[in-house]
């Protein structure tokens, strides 16, 4: 691809992303969401966060891997206990990464 | 001057910055990964940094770079970025009621700086009702997270170092989202929403364009609504 086309594409992709981000924020004074939609938004954080976590650690190399050899999954499950008990991001990250490194060291 | 400094430390900007700090590490790590990928696929460090400034979307940038590498036509790349980033519409809708009083310029800034992380940090705090100025809090969190991301891609692009898989850098983002997920769980319908979303997102992993994520989130939202009726 020509450099010019490359940058047109990048700028286009940036504009598309900006429009998606702005969508409802830009329209907030003219568009009022009906109560049903507002109730739906209440569930966006837990739903989207779960969707951001599990596929990454459960699908390895394009395959579903629920085995004990999937250290990404085991480390995440250990970290989940910490996250559940403490809701502390640092601690969750620390324990999860440490678990992953130890698993690699012992069985990797 | 001292009193001014003290005031600043008490400000909503600073509260926002502080609320984002636990996420800096994973944001930085993901930025490095994106920066390295750009250089590895033939971009100069400066191009890689410009791309980060223009797009500011980790998943969008990674998808774009991969498609360029496969010599995909521009239209395919644009459609992919559109679909990969559709979740931003959900974030925008969630934040919109809180940003209603802002002027156009402030809304534009808020929009550009919107990220998964800035959205979650701000919305969870708004829901607990502990914020003075919602915009200043958001700006503090979102702008510092933006800066960390840009710094990460710069470091990745300029060092261009290979990060061995054994470091598990890929885990930093999901672990951060995991902790945030537990903060976002506050009732049984919410727990069900997260569970269903996770199962659907994993089951539909074969779909292109990260559609599994969107499908999972939608299934989770519907589940939560049905159970909370």
Question: What ipTM, to 2 d.p.?
Answer: 0.90
- Shortest Cα distance, chain A CAs vs residue B166, angstroms: 7
Q: What is the pLDDT of residues B104-151, one digit of tens each?
A: 999 999 999 999 999 999 999 999 888 889 999 999 999 999 999 999
Q: What is the DSSP string of chain A?
A: --HHHHHHHHHHHHHHHHHHHHHHHHTTTT-PPPHHHHHHHTTHHHHHHHHHHHHHHHEETTEE--STT-HHHHHHHHHHHHHHHH--HHHHHHHHHHHHHHHHHHH-
Q: How far apart are the first and last CA of chain A?
A: 41
Can you tell me whether residue B61 is helix, strand or coil? Answer: helix
**Do B122 and B53 belong to one domain?**
yes
Boundary of a domain, candidates B121, B147, B162 = B162
Note whether residue B172 is domain-resident: no
Mark whether B190 and B131 lie in a shared domain: no
- Domain annotation covers residue B178: no
* B-chain residue closest to A55, CA distance: B202
B147 lies in the same domain as B194: no
Residue B96 lies in a domain: yes
Statement to judge: residues B136 and B67 lie in one domain? yes
Helix (H, G, I), strand (E, B) or coil at B208: coil
- In the structure, what pLDDT confidence band is assigned to residue B1 with cuts at 50, 70 and 90? very low
**Do residues B83 and B152 both lie within one domain?**
yes
In this structure, is residue B45 part of a structural domain?
yes
The kind and range of the H/E element at B130 are none
Residue B173 lies in a domain: no
Q: Does residue A41 belong to the interface with chain B, where contact is any CB pair within 8 Å?
A: yes
Is the same domain home to B157 and B193?
A: no
In a domain, B174, yes or no: no
pLDDT in tens, A83-108: 999 999 999 999 999 999 999 999 87
Q: Are B225 and A39 in contact (CB under 8 A)?
A: yes
Residue B32: give the domain boundaries. Answer: 2-162
Same domain, B60 and B143: yes
Q: Of B78, B100, B114, which is closest to A29 when you measure between CB atoms? A: B100
For residue A100 the two structure tokens come to: 């992953």
Identify the residue among A4, A23, A25 best suited for mutation to test binding to B, counting B beta carbons within 10 A and taking the highest.
Answer: A25
B167 part of a folded domain: no
Asked whether residue B175 is domain-assigned, the answer is: no
User: How many domains in chain B?
Assistant: 2
For residues B106 and B141, membership in a common domain is answered with yes
B157 and B190 share one domain = no
- Looking at the predicted structure, is the pLDDT value of residue B46 above 70? yes
Do the Cβ atoms of A28 and B71 come within 8 Å? no
Interface of A with B in 68-97 (CB under 8 A): 71-72, 75-76, 79-80, 83-84, 87-90, 92-93, 96-97
Tokens representing residue B98 in the block: 């809180």
Pair B202, B131 in one domain = no
List of chain A residues whose C-beta atoms are within 8 Å of the C-beta of residue B189? 43
Same domain for B199 and B158? no
List CB contacts (< 8 A) between B52 and chain A: none
A16 contact residues in B (CB cutoff 8 A): 78, 81-82, 85
Does residue B194 sit in the same domain as residue B83? no
Q: Is the pLDDT of residue B63 over 60?
A: yes
Res A3 pLDDT > 80 = no
Mutate: best of A46, A72, A88, A101, partner B, most B CBs <10 A? A46
């Amino acid at each position: 691809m020509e450099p010019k086309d490359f940058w047109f594409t990048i700028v286009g992709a940036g504009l598309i992303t900006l429009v998606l981000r702005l969508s409802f924020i830009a329209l907030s004074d003219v568009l009022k969401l009906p109560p049903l939609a507002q109730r739906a938004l209440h569930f966006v954080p837990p739903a989207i966060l779960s969707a951001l976590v599990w596929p990454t650690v459960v699908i390895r190399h394009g395959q579903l891997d629920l085995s004990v050899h999937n250290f990404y999954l085991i480390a995440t499950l250990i970290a989940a206990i910490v996250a559940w008990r403490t809701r502390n991001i640092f601690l969750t990250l620390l324990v999860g990464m440490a678990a992953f490194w130890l698993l690699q060291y012992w069985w990797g | 001057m001292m009193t001014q400094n003290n005031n600043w430390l008490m400000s909503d900007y600073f509260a926002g910055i502080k609320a984002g700090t636990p996420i800096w590490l994973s944001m930085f790590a993901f930025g490095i990964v994106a920066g390295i990928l750009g250089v590895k696929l033939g971009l100069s460090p400066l191009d890689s940094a410009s791309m980060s400034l223009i797009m500011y979307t980790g998943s969008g940038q990674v998808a774009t770079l991969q498609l360029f590498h496969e010599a995909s036509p521009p239209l395919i790349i644009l459609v992919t970025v559109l679909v990969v980033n559709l979740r931003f519409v959900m974030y925008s809708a969630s934040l919109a009621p809180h940003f209603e009083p802002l002027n156009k310029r402030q809304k534009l800034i808020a929009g550009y700086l919107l990220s998964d992380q800035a959205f979650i940090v701000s919305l969870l705090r708004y829901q607990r009702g502990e914020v003075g100025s919602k915009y200043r809090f958001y700006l503090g969190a979102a702008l510092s997270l933006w800066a960390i991301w840009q710094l990460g891609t710069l470091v990745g692009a300029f060092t261009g170092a290979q990060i061995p898989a054994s470091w598990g850098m890929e885990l930093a983002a999901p672990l951060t989202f995991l902790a945030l997920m537990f903060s976002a769980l506050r009732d049984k319908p919410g727990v069900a929403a997260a569970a269903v979303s996770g199962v659907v997102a994993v089951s539909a992993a074969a779909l292109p364009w990260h559609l599994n994520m969107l499908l999972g989130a939608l299934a989770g939202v519907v589940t939560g609504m049905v159970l909370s009726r």
